[in-house]
Structure 1
Amino acid sequence: MMIGLGIIGLIYGNSALIWEPIRKTLPGRPVIIYLCAVIEIGTGIGLLLRPSVILACRVLFPFLLLWMALLKLPGLFLAPHVMVSWEAFGEIAATSAGGWCLFAAHAGAWEQWHLKFAIGESGIRAARLLLVAALPMIGLSHFVYHDLTASLVPKCMRFPLGWTYLTGAGSVAAAAGMLFGVYPRLAANLEAGMLWIITLLVWVPRVASMPRDQGDWTEFFISSAIATGTWVVADTYRSVPWLASGKAAHAVSPD
């Protein structure tokens, strides 16, 4: 999905919607946007090729953290009363959690020597907590912006407001399950599955009907990145029984 975001950046350049938080008065803004697009495409391809996985993780994880810290975190301080600030932060945080798991699982010798706290089991546990923090931000936005979210529900599905509240509550419940060790594997995988279903039902038809709409393509790739990040975190529970609870349910599968 990083490849798709990178392609959007290359095609639309300075007008790419995903980079709107970058001040238009910033010197070299177009260069920064194109550089970010190249990084996204490069890391996306790198993750697909076994020889370059470690390098791709070394670049992708810091890139996502900088994206979150420089473009999304300030919004929490500038407009903490606006839910969209929290939603935007939660979306990139969920994606970053997946990137962190990949980084922790594919750490090289340098990381094992200098960044022990961020790799292996400790890194994966921290990534899980990042996802736990992110999911309520996404879920609560369904309640705050219920009319807007309901308008995205496919017309063939009845009770759009009900689906809006159900999916929002599902994200909050998944975070609680992961945090307190109540069926965390089931909770994380159900959340990942739900996010993929939302991506397929909401955004695929939109990009198919309006293939030249930059906004829909951007939303599709962002939604896919969130779902992928959540799925990567969910996969770290694969050694845990589906209905495990308590301390044992927090076991880590790093590889």
Structure 2
Amino acid sequence: MSTQVQLSRQISVTRINSLASVLYAIGIIGIAGQQFYYKEFRPVIIPYWPTWLPGQPAFAYLIAACMILLSAGIILGYKGRNNALLLGGLLLILTLIFHLPSLFFVTKDVWHLGLWTNALKELALSGGAFVVAGSLPNEKGSLKGSRTLQGFVSAGRIFLAIMLICFGIDHFLYSQFVATLVPVWAGMPLFWTYFAGIALIGTGVSIILNIKRKQVSLLAGFMLFIWFLVLHIPRAIQYPDLDKGNELTSVFEALAFSGVAFLIAFAKGD
């Protein structure tokens, strides 16, 4: 009987992981699709394009196509682990060679936490891909350099946690601005701003220190998915063209992050 229960639980976890991976992959596909529509990079992928370098649309299409193909492989279960590793590596490289130089050499105040928003998001999206890879079984036909990419699997959750903690701090540093994002019908905007900030920081700390990680990550997954439904989708509908579809980008990001949180909650060994 215990064996049957254990097998049933394992099947349920596998299904949850599959669904969570799909949520993440759909989020990535959505962001990539916007690059085709706007013919340029989303700020979360590459924050700026050098004016002296031609061909941004072509490069944006190329990176977007890679993101879509790798994400489709995750959804379809075709070499899912390898595709997730490659996607994580791609996003991490873009973070390192575009976001960090932009922050340190282009922006005027590198220590202004708000300016790190997109860099932290892409770091977390990269980490999400590594978390997806960690939820999938090993495959035949290892990738070249896969050992290096495999090393980031355990760091994937840390990447997400760093973003959550920093965004939680943002809720206190920029509370007046964040409060304007709270739906009017919810009332008490400052209360929800601080409450969400505490929740984000607490989740990040829990993930890093492995304190009640399963329970906290599960709650965080539901929290992020609720924000996807009641905050980001309505704003995307209300402001479809704001900052070239930035609100829609936030929809896809929230969907992806919720999927990653669910994956962390049901990670092996937890």
Query: Do they fold alike, i.e. is TM over 0.5?
Result: yes
The residue correspondences of 1:189-200 to structure 2 (distance < 5 A) are 189-200=218-229
Paired residue for 1:203, among 221, 227, 232?
A: 232
Which residue pairs with 2:265 in the alignment? 234
RCO greater where, 1 or 2, for CA within 8 Å and sep 6 or more?
2
The residue correspondences of 1:1-255 to structure 2 (distance < 5 A) are 1-14=27-40, 16-18=42-44, 19-78=46-105, 79-104=109-134, 105-109=136-140, 111=142, 115-116=146-147, 118-119=149-150, 123-213=152-242, 214-236=245-267, 251=269
Q: Is the 8 A contact 1:92 1:226 kept in 2?
A: no
Task: Give 2:258's aligned amino acid.
Answer: A
Total equivalences in the alignment: 237
Judge which range, 71-80 or 219-228, deviates more: 71-80
Task: Give 2:154's aligned amino acid.
Answer: R
Task: Give 2:128's aligned amino acid.
Answer: G
TM-score, normalised via structure 1 length: 0.80
Show CA shifts across 1:128-162 (max 9, x none).
22223222112111112212211111000111111
What displacement does 1:117 show?
6.2
**3-state DSSP of counterpart to 1:26:** coil
| Change over 3 Å in CA distance of 1:161–1:216 after alignment to 2 | same
Task: Give 2:166's aligned amino acid.
Answer: M
Task: Give 2:51's aligned amino acid.
Answer: K
**Identity score, percent:** 23
The whole-number CA distance in structure 2 between the counterparts of 1:14 and 1:107 is 35
What displacement does 1:106 show?
4.5
What displacement does 1:195 show?
1.6
What displacement does 1:26 show?
2.2
Q: Is the 8 A contact 2:31 2:42 kept in 1?
A: no
Q: Is the 8 A contact 2:73 2:83 kept in 1?
A: yes
What displacement does 1:101 show?
1.8
TM-score, normalised via structure 2 length: 0.76
The whole-number CA distance in structure 2 between the counterparts of 1:72 and 1:110 is 32
Residue ranges of structure 1 left out of the alignment (5+ in a row):
240-250
**Aligned-CA RMSD value:** 2.6
Task: Give 2:204's aligned amino acid.
Answer: A
